[in-house]
Amino acid sequence: MKPRHDIVSHVRRHRLRVDLTQQELADRVGVTRQTILSIEKGKYSPTVGLALRLARELDVAVEGLFELEGETDD
Name the residues that contact another protein, by CB under 8 A.
21-23, 30-32, 34-35, 37-41, 43-44, 46-47, 50
Min dist CB 51 to another protein, Å, is 11
Residue 74 DSSP SS3: coil
**Closer of 4 and 43 to another protein (Cβ):** 43
Return the C-alpha torsion angle 35, 29, 21, 63, nearest 10: 80
Min dist CB 20 to another protein, Å, is 9
- Report the C-alpha gap between 66 and 42 in whole angstroms: 9
